[in-house]
Amino acid sequence: MSDPHFFGYGSLVNTATHSYPDTRTAHLSGFRRRWRHTSLRDVAYLTVEQAPGHIIAGLIAAVPNGDWAALDLREAAYDRLLVAPELIHHDHPHPITVEVYKTSTANDAPPSTRHPILLSYLDTVVSGYRQIFGQEGAQAFFTSTDGWDAPVLNDRAHPIYPRTTPLSRQDRILIDSLLDDHAVQRITTR
């Protein structure tokens, strides 16, 4: 039997943020990404919510021996849910189970100036999407994600996000352009 897999749709797409090397691109049907604040953290994070007719791109990765402990600790503000096999599309040669992390609706709230999106987190996510899916994938990340009315805290000079990855000049220009295209408010203090 194959190891279980997770479906990453945010920072887990950036393979520099984790140590799960057995990755493949995948698509999750019937969902969209959304920026949400959770009462368990001070800033907004990505989550998924059901959205019939929509598809989001991401990565699946094997969790060796089903040892979820480290990943569950990393994703402590999320619930881990089993994905129905007909909703996940990938090229893995064997039948696999796939799970996805979703914030709990009991803890969800809209992002706000007090609980903004961290630019260092967004940079890490979009950089991963561009590396895996190209510029079109980075653009598709923006169009398949809701909640862009949330403010973005510009912490690039002093990243708050603990798994920040180096940002190329090309990524910075692309991300800034996409933020402008979506008229995202940027703030410098909470």
Q: Comparing C-alpha atoms, which of 8, 12, 5 is closest to residue 31?
A: 8
- Stretch 100-127: mean pLDDT: 92
Considering the domain delimited by 5-187, tell me its CATH architecture.
Roll (3.10)
Query: What pLDDT is attached to residue 1?
Result: 62
Q: Comparing C-alpha atoms, which of 85, 75, 82, 78 is closest to residue 29?
A: 85
Query: What pLDDT is attached to residue 154?
Result: 97
Distance CA 34, CA 176 (A): 19
Pairing of the two strands 88-90 and 23-38: antiparallel
Per domain, the residue ranges of the chain are: 5-187
Distance CA 33, CA 19 (A): 23
Put simply, whether the predicted model's pTM sits higher than 0.85 gets the answer yes
> Residue 16: which pLDDT band, with cuts at 50, 70 and 90?
very high
